[in-house]
Amino acid sequence: MLASTQALKAFLVLSLAAAGMAHAQQGSGARGAPNAAGIYSCTDAKGRTITADRPIPDCLDREQRELNPSGTTRRVVEPSYTAREQAEREDRERAAQLQAARLVEERRRERALLVRYPNPAAHDRERAEALVQIDVVIQAARKRLAELGEDRKRVDDELEFYKKDPAKAPDALRRRTEDIARSVAVQNRFIGEQEDEKKRVNARFDEEHAKLAPLWAANTAAAQKSK
């Protein structure tokens, strides 16, 4: 009886072991089995749609799609680039990034301008104030020119006395004439620079106005729409 029990136990142990090995082999086979072959598809340089069971040589310079047997995209195969093509591609990407950054910066500046000048009246007012400040400086320079003119007239009146023999005119009087001439040149040059500054100010405000006009119009339209 004891021998029969032991034999039964041994049989059960061997059976369980055999079942476990079979299960392990089945699982290992499932994991080790290769994936079903994909299908590659692309459109070549001539516009033809090509399919194959491996990467397509005619489409190495363009994107290919690897498809599942069901026809869905398993993955996208990027183009294969030469060193030169890769460098050109990177240059284009950098240029695109720089352009995008410039556009972002431009939008930021436009928003700042809109905050500073919420309407045309505010912009016109600041333009006028800037021009007035320059005109004040120009008027001061012109007043100085008038004063120098009076000084020159007085010097000329004194030099009239030495008209018959200018060599006898005092050195101080001649130096005064030269000083007045230099000061007149300085003031005229300064006035010219201020006139150029007025042109620059007007050009800047004109440029800003061109950028702000569509923004003001959009704000006005939005405000009317919300009413």
Residue 49, pLDDT score: 92
CA within 13 Å, CB half, 144: 18
pLDDT reported for residue 224: 87
Quick one: pLDDT at residue 205? 97
pLDDT of 37: 62
The pLDDT score that the predictor gives to residue 199 is 97
The pLDDT score that the predictor gives to residue 94 is: 94
Residues of the chain with confidence (pLDDT) below 70:
1-37
pLDDT at residue 15, rounded to an integer: 44
Q: In whole numbers, what is the pLDDT of the chain averaged over residues?
A: 83
What local confidence, expressed as pLDDT, does residue 2 receive?
A: 37
How far is it, in rounded angstroms, from Cα 131 to Cα 84?
54
DSSP conformation class of 72 = S
For 74-105, what is the HEC assignment?
EEEECCCCCHHHHHHHHHHHHHHHHHHHHHHH
What confidence score (pLDDT) does residue 139 get?
A: 97
Query: d(Cα 198, Cα 218) in Å, to the nearest integer?
Result: 30
Which of 47, 44, 45, 46 is closest to 55 using CA atoms?
44
Residue 80, pLDDT score: 79
In this prediction the pTM is 0.56
